[in-house]
């Protein structure tokens, strides 16, 4: 392990040969006791089947146990290992070292969020936004358990299934330039999950969600850059969900405009 600044590039391996080691430049920061972040260089073994998370675990187990980062499943399910790798938001359990040869590989916390420690971000803002967008099923017809399941057809499931694949990794927030400029933006995952429930045939919470989804900080704040969808490690299309939300909001607005009695009935 060595401190770095400025950073020098590692010597490339001979063509066709895997290097024995690779260098990671890891973001280190203790906001409570340090004035500014720094980067620390660690030389770790290179293995063809290692992902960045393996290299971080090697550092923690063998080189510096104080390094702080989140992970759990190591198989792209829990969503806890999202970090910036060479400037891009990725799941580190799915980011192979071989794709970053010859290194160095720079690892940083997800951008646009406050840092709690080293590679760990403060998720509070994201959690509040998921709550505000009511990202859960609000049953259209509440029923008791003994009344059975809420059934739906395969076609009804297909309406929203793609958006259920979100694992809340927050890579889309780190990729979103709008959220980076204005953190009052509800943001890609919360808007996409709100839309996921709006599209669910069993749900009746559209009006409740509209207070947030159709607000100035909701879908209309999105400028449709599309980086959120490109960054999603699960292939979810939050940008698409947000545009669907804009169409839905427009339809509801026009209905209220052209059929004022409908709004009065709904309100009264
Ligand atoms: S460790 Fe669970 S998604 Fe990477």
pLDDT exceeds cutoff 50 at 268: no
Q: What's domain 124-267's architecture?
A: Orthogonal Bundle (1.10)
Report the pLDDT value the prediction gives residue 12, as an integer from 0 to 100: 53
Q: Where would I find the H helices in the chain? A: 52-58, 124-132, 154-158, 171-175, 177-181, 188-198, 206-213, 227-231, 238-258, 260-267
pLDDT exceeds cutoff 80 at 59: yes
Q: What is the pTM of this model?
A: 0.87
Determine the Cα–Cα distance for residues 195 and 200; give it in Å rounded to an integer: 9
Q: Determine the straight-line distance between the first and last CA of the chain, rounded to whole angstroms.
A: 68
Q: Is the CB of 78 under 6 A from ligand 1?
A: yes
- Of 52, 91, 120, 171, the one to substitute when testing ligand 1's pocket (max ligand atoms within 8 A of C-beta) is 91
Q: Is the CB of 71 under 6 A from ligand 1?
A: yes
Domain spans of the chain, in order of start: 2-121, 124-267
In DSSP terms, 52 is beta-bridged to: none
Segment 108-118, tens digit of pLDDT: 999 999 999 99
Confidence of residue 186 (pLDDT cuts 50, 70, 90): very high
In DSSP terms, 44 is beta-bridged to: 22
- Tell me how far the alpha carbon of residue 173 lies from the centroid of ligand 1, in angstroms: 17
Q: Is the CB of 82 under 6 A from ligand 1?
A: no
pLDDT exceeds cutoff 50 at 9: no
Q: Is the CB of 168 under 6 A from ligand 1?
A: no
Summary mean pLDDT of the chain: 91
Confidence of residue 259 (pLDDT cuts 50, 70, 90): confident
Which tokens go with 146? 């003994």
Determine the Cα–Cα distance for residues 251 and 196; give it in Å rounded to an integer: 18
pLDDT exceeds cutoff 90 at 264: no
Confidence of residue 16 (pLDDT cuts 50, 70, 90): low
> Tokens 């953190």 label which residue?
183
Superfamily assignment of 2-121 in CATH? Beta-grasp domain (3.10.20.30)
* 76: CB partners within 8 A, 6+ apart: 91, 93, 94, 167, 233, 234
What are the φ and ψ backbone dihedral angles of 239, each rounded to 5 degrees? -60, -40
Whether 124-267 and 2-121 are alike in CATH topology: the answer is no
Which tokens go with 39? 């980067």
In this prediction, residues 70-97 reach a mean pLDDT of: 97
Confidence of residue 150 (pLDDT cuts 50, 70, 90): confident
């Amino acid at each position: 392990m060595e401190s770095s600044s400025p950073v020098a590039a590692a010597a490339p391996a001979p063509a066709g040969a895997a290097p024995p080691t690779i260098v990671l430049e890891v973001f280190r920061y203790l906001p409570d006791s340090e004035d500014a972040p720094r980067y620390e260089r660690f030389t770790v073994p290179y293995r063809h089947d290692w992902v960045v998370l393996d290299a971080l675990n090697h550092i923690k187990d063998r080189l510096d146990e104080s390094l702080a980062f989140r992970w759990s499943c190591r198989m792209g399910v829990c969503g806890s290992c999202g970090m910036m790798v060479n400037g891009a938001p990725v799941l580190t359990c799915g980011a192979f070292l071989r794709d970053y040869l010859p290194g160095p590989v720079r690892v940083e916390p997800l951008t646009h969020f406050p840092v709690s420690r080293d590679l760990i971000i403060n998720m509070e803002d994201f959690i509040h936004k998921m709550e505000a967008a009511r990202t859960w099923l609000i049953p259209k017809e509440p029923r008791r358990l003994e009344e059975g399941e809420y059934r739906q057809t395969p076609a009804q499931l297909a309406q929203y299934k793609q958006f259920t694949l979100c694992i809340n990794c927050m890579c889309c927030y780190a990729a979103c330039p709008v959220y980076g400029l204005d953190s009052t933006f509800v943001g890609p995952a919360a808007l996409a999950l709100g839309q996921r429930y709006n599209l669910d045939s069993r749900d009746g919470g559209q009006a409740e969600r509209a207070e947030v989804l159709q607000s100035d900080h909701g879908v209309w704040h999105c400028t449709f850059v599309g980086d959120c969808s490109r960054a999603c490690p699960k292939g979810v299309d939050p940008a698409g969900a947000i545009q669907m939300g804009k169409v839905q909001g427009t339809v509801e607005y026009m209905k209220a405009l052209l059929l004022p009695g409908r709004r009065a009935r709904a309100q009264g």
